[in-house]
Amino acid sequence: MRYKLKSYIFSALIAMYALPALADDIEQATSLKEAITEGKPTINLRLRYENVNQDGKTETGEAFTLRSLIGWKTKPFHNFSVNAEIYGLSPLNDDYNDLKKGSPLASRTKYPVIADPEDYDFHQLYLEWTGIPDSSIKLGRQGMILDNWRYVGDVRFRQNWQVFNGISFVNKSLHNTTVSLAHYEQVKQITTKIENANIEIANVKYSFTPTTSLVGYGYLIDWDGNAQKVKSNQTYGLRLDGSQKLDDNWKVLYTAEYAKQDDYKDGSKLIDNDYYRVGAGAGYGDWFLRLDQEKLSGNRDGKSFQTPLGTNHLFQGWADVFLVTPNEGIEDTILIAGGKVMDATIKAEYHFINSDRNFAKVGGGTGDSYGKEFDLGVYYKFTKQISGSLEYANFKEDDKYNGARKTDIEKFWVTAIYAF
């Protein structure tokens, strides 16, 4: 694995070195032995049952899986520490299409996809250096989450999480500002497939208040391999997100975001798309209600706005019908509500999912409505270490369009987690 430290990271490091030195409040080990023996463990066990009924499939998909993770992070020694985590995903049955490395077994295609293939590997394995005030540099395999997980996330809803191989730099020395930069050369996806790429990440977040922030970002993805190169793209955008208290009970919620996506390196010159999300709502005590609209555009050349490194499970419905944006694009109007009942957290979403371009006019379709989806989740923390959840998703197709059919699908999850 090769790591090319890009010029923008060098520039950032030089700039941060020039900042006035701040007191190092991170307790350091006095010896290598102490660094190892006084480190911190990580233990995470997640047991899940997932049930999927999908029109067009002759069998119901059912997956019992156990994800087991154990890790150890050393105490800093001369500002260096090592974080090593190993995990295993153990299927307890085989009645589902696990999409292993993107190529499922022929015998499993009669089942709906439940993308939790068996795997045993390092989850994270990186060297971290904190020698620059209010900064962290990580080299190796690592997870990364930015903003609302739309463009960069670890897809942790699935049992195999997405991780990156490369180098990242995060600095918080500027007032109310977080600067995140990274160069990654591989991404291990939830199917366990490893894709080679040159991925450049730049994200600058400024917090006006503790609850409102403005983010500027740029994400450049240069995929390797002939089949992937044409998908290479660059995305630049701005995101305003936050809330404002009106009194001790009421607050207003708001989001406004815009991004532009074009071709990059060997990417198709036809990539030319826009993204926006706007939303507003109100919160009262532990409850909230909001209305959002998100658009990932499609263009006349059959290219659409894509977010290949994001946690796409969180968008366009939890049934995962639209993990890849159709050629005609998506315009999703979402009613979102949530709150607490007897210490249980509840969240519900209702999606009206349409195309950006009318696929009846593009050819072969009957309208511009993909369908509607209802999602419901109940989450409960039994103890500090033990939590559980029940989740449900139901997508109903509306009009038929000229791409692959988005058939009716219903999913149900029961999850138990032990974390230490």
Structural tokens at position 59: 């069998």
Spatial neighbors of 264 by CB under 8 A, at least 6 apart, are 220, 221, 222, 232, 233, 234
- Stated as kind and residue range, the H or E segment containing 362 is helix 359-362
SS3 category, 359:
helix
Structural tokens at position 378: 């109940």
Q: Is 148 exposed, middle or buried (0-12, 13-18, 19+ CB in 10 A)?
A: middle
Between CA 64 and CA 313 the distance in angstroms is 19
CA-based torsion, 219, 210, 247, 283: positive or negative: positive
Between CA 295 and CA 58 the distance in angstroms is 34
SS3 category, 79:
coil
Angle, vertex CA 126, rays to CA 159 and CA 235, nearest 5: 70
| DSSP letter string, 365-389 | -S-SEEEEEEEEEEEEE-SSSEEEE
Q: Locate the DSSP E strands across 272-322.
A: 272-284, 287-297
155 conformational bin, left if phi > 0, alpha if psi -120 to 50, beta if neither = left
Domain boundaries, the chain: 7-419
Q: What letter would DSSP give residue 364?
A: S
pLDDT of res. 211 = 95
pLDDT of res. 23 = 37
pTM: 0.89
CATH number of 7-419: 2.40.160.10
pLDDT of res. 402 = 54
CA-based torsion, 403, 404, 405, 409: positive or negative: negative
Given a contact cutoff of 8 angstroms between Cβ atoms, the answer to whether 175 and 134 are in contact is no
Series of mean pLDDT values for 10-residue runs along the chain (420 residues): 42 43 66 92 97 94 97 96 97 91 79 95 97 96 97 96 98 96 97 96 97 98 90 97 96 98 95 97 97 95 94 96 93 97 96 83 65 97 96 90 75 96
Structural tokens at position 346: 């509840």
Between CA 365 and CA 404 the distance in angstroms is 11
Spatial neighbors of 103 by CB under 8 A, at least 6 apart, are none
> Of 275, 342, 277, nearest to 304 (Cα)?
275
Between CA 409 and CA 402 the distance in angstroms is 19
Between CA 49 and CA 414 the distance in angstroms is 5
SS3 category, 333:
strand
